[in-house]
Amino acid sequence: MIALGDRAVAAARALAALDTRRKNAILRGMADAIEAQRATLQAANSQDLAAGHVAGLSAAMLDRLTLSEARVAAMADGLREVAALRDPVGRVLRRTKRPNGLVIVKRRVPIGVIAIIYESRPNVTADAAGLCLKAGNAVILRGGKEALHSNGAIVAAMLAGGTPQGLPADAVQWIATPDRDAVKELVQLEGRVDLVMPRGGESLIRAVMAQARVPVIKHYKGVCHTYVDADADLKMALAIVENAKCQRPGVCNAMETLLVHQDVAARFLPMVARRLGVERHVELRGDDAARAIVPGMIPATGDDWHAEYLDLILAVRVVPSLEEAVSHIQRYGSAHSDAIVTSNQETAARFLRDVDSATVYVNASTRFTDGGEFGMGAEIGISTDKLHARGPMGLEELTTYKYQVTGTGQIRK
Amino acid sequence: MIALGDRAVAAARALAALDTRRKNAILRGMADAIEAQRATLQAANSQDLAAGHVAGLSAAMLDRLTLSEARVAAMADGLREVAALRDPVGRVLRRTKRPNGLVIVKRRVPIGVIAIIYESRPNVTADAAGLCLKAGNAVILRGGKEALHSNGAIVAAMLAGGTPQGLPADAVQWIATPDRDAVKELVQLEGRVDLVMPRGGESLIRAVMAQARVPVIKHYKGVCHTYVDADADLKMALAIVENAKCQRPGVCNAMETLLVHQDVAARFLPMVARRLGVERHVELRGDDAARAIVPGMIPATGDDWHAEYLDLILAVRVVPSLEEAVSHIQRYGSAHSDAIVTSNQETAARFLRDVDSATVYVNASTRFTDGGEFGMGAEIGISTDKLHARGPMGLEELTTYKYQVTGTGQIRK
């Protein structure tokens, strides 16, 4: 693993010196090869699917694992889209001329070596490698063991397509061993690995955090809230709540808890019960006040406020004030994405200020927390950490900066 | 320690809501109280100094520990200077209007709770607290046990001066117990402490890193290089080398290793031997090629290339090329501050690009790596990490951002 790290460090140096045109040619070469090798990729994928059936993977897991023709095409298109994005590397963030004549340039540079640890979706292999490369970073990929053959075939295709275009040796490395100790060693390679990004379920991320000695950017889970204020437009609120819960319930920016101000609860909760409960088959779990209004709700327990259901289940609580809504979110939330629906600008401003989450919304669905929706062009992940990157992470978040200082012989007095 | 963390979290929320005027009034109130309580501070400091004498602290340690009248005044002035700095909190970093009408504001906000772990200098207590406060962060201070009474008195003065001006309770907390387990617990308070900054010797920082579960920003040491290129103005090079080594040898941005291109070594090294070796009493430790030119040099061993002497000692090596100089710096350096002296712009550009250090210099002394010299107004520390903050860290580096998204009922299709 140390040798692998050393190779990545050498590759990172080579990558940092590549110009944008060269990196884009590599990305397009990789995309072409993935398309050209579709039959090979799907054959490898069939091996994983067969093993997955034997191992008794769930239908949802098998679906995520499947490389359909459309998904192979999407991987290739994704790499071409990354090629089309603006290169953040080299950009001047600030230029200062000091009174002594020193010119200080703060310039974006690649981070160096990035390790991505992920689960069953094989398309992450191409997506993550493409974004890391465009930002000038060497990448070490460690996918789930269920996708071993698929990932190997995708990496082989990327190398076959990228190398003739100038992809430096070892710029994309892949850990094939299913040995768990490999991950432990990887996340302890201080001085060789600059950043680890675990992507997957909470247990994967907690395991990485417990072992890591290098910096990690992550989110454990998304327990997202929508707070319907006393001054909310209830029709707008209902549309937002329905979208945040139902449009794609299995993702991290879906709503898990609905907070409703007591002054509008008697009007709003029956609307929720009808639209979400009856029409969309959402299981509603309410506190006593909510159940007094909609008696059909299941009683919520303490665990419900912490729960990331990732399913058509919604916890519902009636709150007496904005302050109580904010307190609930700070106490039980995951600092991912939280929304208020209100027509009161002052209330909105207080919510935006006081809720300490990566993304806070006024009058919009939490489902917009996404690099594409934010105009970043692509997303390598979402961070609920506060350092370096917060919220959706695109190419810029895969860079750091350095200070380049140019003088004419200045010495310090 | 958990209770202390919870109090800090509550204080951080209160601090995030304070406006700039209020924060500045608090800082000035703290400065006034430190001046007014000078006699009390010096009495407490005398206890530490007496204990230090008994414990046999070195003269240098005792000097660092001493709170002279001038140093007390400097602490107060430092707080007033921080009050005069521009407040980074609330600043809009980017504002985007999406095609669907969503307005996305990326806004600077405080990080939250910051723990500072430091060694003997009691003035760090006031400096660090002031910077954290101005950036809207609650701070947990843990100073060296040698300065226990001094730090306690400084914290008491800051609270006495700040509280009447609106300093939130627990915004500045101080860990008085000399128990080492307290530090271990502190750096594992995930969810309560957002950032740990250890300041001090390498062993302190390594100990923190080995135990930390929360993010740490740090530099282990400063092994800074100056590379004198074949195309250098040797008179300029000599002035820079002298300044980088001798102006203040005990600090992290002082030069520790001199690299000289072989084409100018025969002319330049005798100049170095005379100016630094003879006139400034610097002990020169050279490789074989350097010693062939200046036979009086002590032979350098492998350890010398890694050494942070913090003293009037200089390792000297002759290199055949820019590439070899860069390789040496990448292999042995600490990614802190490294300089080239050259009149060749192409060589300078390659050095600026290829040396992967927080600060890289052309034709200037490494001694300029400092928040004040960079125009930041103040410095909380220097980072050789690549995430979040790199190089000198000022107020901006004590903040993060969040996305505030305002819509008119947008839902995701």
A387-409: pLDDT as tens digits: 999 999 999 999 999 999 999 99
- Mean pLDDT is lowest, of B93-102, B133-142, B240-249, B374-383, for B374-383
- pLDDT tens digits, A327-355: 999 999 999 999 999 999 999 999 999 99
Core vs surface per residue A35-73: b (16+ CB within 10 A) or e:
bebbebbbebbeebbebbeeeebeeebeebbbbeeebbe
pLDDT band of residue B179 (cuts 50, 70, 90) is confident
Q: Give me the pLDDT at residue A374, please.
A: 94
In this complex, do A365 and B411 lie within 8 Å of one another by their Cβ atoms? yes
For residue B66 the two structure tokens come to 């001493």
Q: Which among B242, B363, B387 has the least Cβ separation from residue A215?
A: B387
pLDDT at position A178 is: 78
Using a CB-CB distance cutoff of 8 angstroms, which residues of chain A are in contact with residue B407? 361-364
Instruction: Tell if the CB–CB gap between B348 and A13 is shorter than 8 Å.
Output: no
* pLDDT of A53 higher than 90: yes
State whether B386 and A194 contact (CB < 8 Å). Answer: yes
Strands A313-319 vs A337-341: parallel, antiparallel or unpaired:
unpaired
B165 vs A: CB within 8 A: no
DSSP conformation class of B238: H
CB A138 within 8 Å of CB A173: yes
pLDDT for B178 equals 78
Distances in Å between the alpha carbon of B184 and those of A17, B197, B351?
41, 13, 40
Please name which of A72, A71, A62, A77 lies closest in space to residue A27, comparing C-alpha atoms: A77
Give the span between the Cα atoms of B222 and B254, in whole angstroms.
Answer: 8
Q: Which residue has better confidence, A120 or B38?
A: B38
Enumerate long-range contacts of B180-185, CB under 8 Å, 24 or more apart.
Answer: B182/B1, B182/B142, B183/B117, B183/B142, B183/B207, B183/B208, B183/B211, B184/B211, B185/B1, B185/B2
Residues in A closer than 8 angstroms to B402, CB to CB, are: 356-360, 390-391
Interface test with A, best of B96, B347, B403 (most A CBs within 10 A): B403
**Which residues of B fall within a CB distance of 8 Å from A353?**
16-17
Structure tokens at A151: 């990932």
Q: Which of B331, B412, B413 should be substituted to probe chain A, the one whose Cβ sees the most A Cβ atoms within 10 Å?
A: B412
- pLDDT band for position A46 (50/70/90)? very high
Rounded to an integer, what distance in angstroms lies between the CA atom of residue B382 and that of residue B134? 18
Q: Two tokens at A86?
A: 């603006």
Stretch 361-400 of chain B: residues touching chain A, C-beta under 8 Å: 361-365, 367-369, 373-375, 385-388, 390-391, 400
Instruction: Indicate whether B120 pLDDT > 80.
Output: no
Predicted confidence (pLDDT) at residue A120 exceeds the cutoff of 80: no
B32 to chain A, closest Cα gap in Å: 31
**Closest approach of chain B CAs to the CA of A243, in angstroms?**
6
- Rg from Cα positions in chain A: 24
Q: What percent of chain A has pLDDT over 70?
A: 100
**A-contacting residues of B 177-236, CB under 8 Å?**
194-195, 209, 213, 215, 217, 233, 236
Q: Which amino acid is at A241?
A: V
Indicate the SS3 state at residue B365: coil
Selecting from B17, B195, B353 the residue whose C-beta is nearest the C-beta of A353 gives B17
Place of tokens 């405080």: B110
- What are the residues facing B361 on neighbouring strands? A405, B339
How far does B38 lie from chain A, in Å, by closest CA? 30
The mean pLDDT value of chain B amounts to 96
pLDDT for the residue A232: 98
Residue B37: its pLDDT value, please?
A: 98
- Please work out, in degrees rounded to the nearest 5, the angle formed at the alpha carbon of residue B267 by the alpha carbons of B265 and B270: 90
The beta-carbon neighbor of B412 closest among A233, A236, A247 is: A247
Structural domains of chain A sorted by starting position, each given as residue range(s) with its CATH number in brackets = 2-218+385-406 (3.40.605.10), 224-368 (3.40.309.10)
Closest C-alpha to B134, from B221, B42, B215, B24: B24
Where does B56-173 have alpha helices with state H? 59-65, 69-84, 123-134, 148-162
Alpha-carbon torsion, ordered B160, B161, B162, B166, to 10 deg: 90
Per-residue buried b or exposed e for A166-183, using 16+ beta carbons within 10 Å of the residue's own CB: ebbebbbbbbeeeeeeeb
User: Terminal CA-to-CA distance of chain A, rounded, Å?
Assistant: 47
Q: What percent of chain A has pLDDT over 90?
A: 92
Q: pLDDT tens for residues B315-344?
A: 999 999 999 999 999 999 999 999 999 999
Q: Is B95 on the interface with A (CB under 8 A)?
A: no
Q: A102 CB near a chain B CB, below 8 Å?
A: yes
Q: Which residues pair with A393 in a beta bridge?
A: A381
Separation CA B244–CA B248 (nearest Å) = 8
CB burial readout A1-27, b (16+ within 10 A) else e = beebbebbbbbbbbbbebeeeebbbbb
Q: What is the mean pLDDT of residues A71-94?
A: 96
**What is the nearest CA distance from A45 to chain B, expressed in angstroms?**
31
- Helix/strand number for chain B, H first, E second: 15, 16
Average the pLDDT over A367-378 and give the result: 91
Residue with tokens 């302050």: A323
Cα nearest neighbour of B236 on chain A: A409
| The pLDDT value given to residue A377 | 82
Q: Do B388 and A390 touch (CB under 8 A)?
A: no
3-state secondary structure of B70: helix
CA distance linking residue B274 with residue A202, whole number of Å: 63
Contacts of B13 in chain A (CB under 8 A): 330, 354, 356
pLDDT above 90 for A180: no
Helix (H, G, I), strand (E, B) or coil at B411: coil
**Selected residues 291-320 of chain A with any CB under 8 Å from a CB in chain B:** none
What is the bridge-based pairing of β-strands B391-393 and B337-341? unpaired
Residue in this structure with the two tokens 């300065």, named with its chain if needed = B147
- Given an 8 Å threshold on Cβ–Cβ distance, is A402 in contact with B410? no
> What is the pLDDT, as a whole number, of residue A177?
84
B103 pairs with which residues across the strands? Answer: B97, B406
> What tokens does A125 get?
């292999």
Residue B359 to residue A405, Cβ atoms within 8 A = yes
User: Would the pLDDT of B168 be above 80?
Assistant: yes
Q: Are A2 and A192 in contact (CB under 8 A)?
A: yes
Q: Tell whether B410 lies on the interface with A, counting CB pairs under 8 A.
A: yes
Across the interface, which of B243, B357, B404 has its CB nearest the CB of A352? Answer: B404
The terminus-to-terminus CA distance of chain B in angstroms comes to 47
CB-CB under 8 Å, A16 with B353: yes
